[in-house]
Amino acid sequence: MLRGFFSVPLKKSKEHKNMEFLTGAVQKEDLGIAEILAGDYEGKNIKVKGAIHTIRDMGEVAFIVLRRRDGLVQCVYEPGKSQFSVDDLKEADTVEVCGTYKSDDRSPNGFELRLDTIIILSEPAEPMPLQINKWKLNTSLEAKLNNRAVALRNPRERATFRIQEGITRGFRDFLYNNGFTEIHTPKLGAKSAEGGANLFKLEYFHRPAILQQSPQFYKQMMVGVFDRVFETAPVFRAEKHNTKRHLNEYTSLDFEMGYIDGFEDIMEMETGFLQYTMELLKTSYAKELELLKIKLPDVTSIPRVRFDEAKQRVAEKYNRQFRNPFDLEPEEEVLIGQYFKEEYGSDFVFVTHYPSKKRPFYAMDDPADETYTLSFDLLFRGLEITTGGQRIHDYNKLMEKIAKRGMETEGMESYLSAFKYGMPPHGGLGIGLERLTMQLIGEDNVREATLFPRDLSRLEP
């Protein structure tokens, strides 16, 4: 993985009139961990760059651990061999070291470097404010978020965001492979996709504007163009919730697909995405899974249950009734998650057929009973991580539903015109990236899975 870019020898043509050229090829002398492990370096001298993570001075020798993007490298300082003084080094220096490779099962990645020389590339101005080189950061979430750029240098802390990369990457690659086109839709708009209370408002060159809370309208319009589309981008919600699972800005993994036979196609596509992604994490993010001791969920098959049936099963088994017949309360979602884990061994469950009155106007009602919709949520370990379903594709039906709800069409002209000129049967979903990450790593606050969270009280860093 670290080869490729650096594997072609430097070759700068200077033939034309003393002009220098870039050729996309740089030969670097310093090695990455994968390169070292792939080579045969026993007893040989190699060069490595990294940040000084820890220094343990044992008197006769000192162990200096370097932190790199690809892991930790243990270096051994030995007076006599090493041509520098360990006293000149401190934590958070970034350095280039030269030393002799020696296999050592006790060291990270199974080797250590017996140091000859060191070059200090940069130095910190002050001692570290957090002990990032502890195995586990012994710090409150609040303190971690306040010092995010430093706290994340802890290898376990940063691993969460490598896992998050794997999820996003799995989402995109799976959809590319299934004929989806990636789109970039605007976040600034004149009107919102859905509802108005939860919108951030701003002035756009003397006109009122909003930040989109979802790419919903745009991705539906683009189904008429590309049949299948997806987007991975920020969404903005001015909700005044201050809970462990709400953010005011988050990354939404959205897709929308046309020519479906039913909303089951959407659920199958999501199941396929989860299968693909768990496999990708297993193969390409094994180090991070190991660091965080994550056991990936089994996604071979995911049960589906109707909303009303889920309510009933949970009420019966746990002897609890919930007040709201039209929605699931968070505690109810937790119990549904528990139920399907206990009864079917599944960490996931699709809850289908949500009541029409709790779904947006564009949701397709179930022809068998129009008080319910052909929609679903996906719960993962008791938390909603996806909302999706089939949408109304017929222009006249869409206009009827809008009229029935007493809604205005102002600001929806472009959206509606896409339907006026024909749209295939379609549906889609939105996945909260941070929530999915949080559930996968087993944290109980979504801020743990957000690089720089935005909530009621946090707008910095």
Residue list 272-311, contact with its own copies (CB under 8 A): 272, 274-275, 299-305
Instruction: Report cis status (omega within 30 of 0) of the bond before 461.
Output: yes
Q: Is 112 exposed, middle or buried (0-12, 13-18, 19+ CB in 10 A)?
A: buried
Min CB(400)–its own copies separation in Å? 12
The secondary element (H helix, E strand) that includes residue 364 is none
**Would you say 136 and 265 are in contact if contact means Cβ atoms under 8 Å apart?**
no
Stretch that binds its own copies, among 58-66, 103-111, 216-224, 323-331 (CB under 8 A): 216-224
Please work out the total of residues on this chain that contact its own copies, with binding judged by CB under 8 A.
137
Which residues 236-255 are close enough to bind its own copies by CB under 8 A? 236, 238, 240, 248-249, 251
> Does the annotation flag 193 for ligand binding?
no
Query: Any idea what DSSP says for residue 40?
Result: -
Between 70 and 104, CB nearer to its own copies: 70
> Does the annotation flag 237 for ligand binding?
yes
> Does the annotation flag 239 for ligand binding?
yes
C-alpha torsion sign, points 398, 403, 409, 413: positive
Which residues 35-54 are close enough to bind its own copies by CB under 8 A? 49, 51
Q: State which amino acid sits at residue 291.
A: L
* Residue corresponding to tokens 């049967």: 425
363: its two tokens: 């949701």
Min CB(121)–its own copies separation in Å? 6
Q: Which residues pair with 189 in a beta bridge?
A: 210
User: Among 54, 109, 181, 338, which residue sits at the site for its own copies (rule: CB under 8 A)?
Assistant: 181
> Does the annotation flag 384 for ligand binding?
yes
Between 78 and 96, CB nearer to its own copies: 96
Residues in contact with its own copies, shown as a per-residue x/- string from 49 to 78 under the rule CB under 8 A: x-x----------------xxx--------
Min CB(231)–its own copies separation in Å? 10
Residue 366 makes CB contacts below 8 A (sequence gap 6+) with 353, 372, 373, 374
Q: What whole-number distance in Å separates Cα of residue 32 and Cα of residue 47?
A: 9
**Would you say 299 and 174 are in contact if contact means Cβ atoms under 8 Å apart?**
no
> Does the annotation flag 238 for ligand binding?
yes
344: its two tokens: 């079917």
> Does the annotation flag 29 for ligand binding?
no
> Does the annotation flag 434 for ligand binding?
yes
* Residue corresponding to tokens 């044992």: 58
Question: CA separation (Å) from 438 to 190, 235, 383, 404?
Answer: 33, 18, 10, 39
152 touches its own copies by CB under 8 A: yes
> Does the annotation flag 387 for ligand binding?
yes
Q: Which residues pair with 211 in a beta bridge?
A: 188
Q: What whole-number distance in Å separates Cα of residue 278 and Cα of residue 302?
A: 14
Which residues 310-339 are close enough to bind its own copies by CB under 8 A? none
* Residue corresponding to tokens 């020798």: 61
Between 48 and 115, CB nearer to its own copies: 48
User: Among 119, 188, 403, 407, which residue sits at the site for its own copies (rule: CB under 8 A)?
Assistant: 188
User: Among 36, 183, 193, 440, which residue sits at the site for its own copies (rule: CB under 8 A)?
Assistant: 183
Which residues 360-389 are close enough to bind its own copies by CB under 8 A? none
Residues annotated within the binding site are: 194, 237-239, 245-247, 384, 387, 391, 432-435
Residues contributing to the annotated binding site for ATP: 237-239, 245-247, 384, 432-435
Annotated binding site for L-aspartate: 194, 237, 387, 391
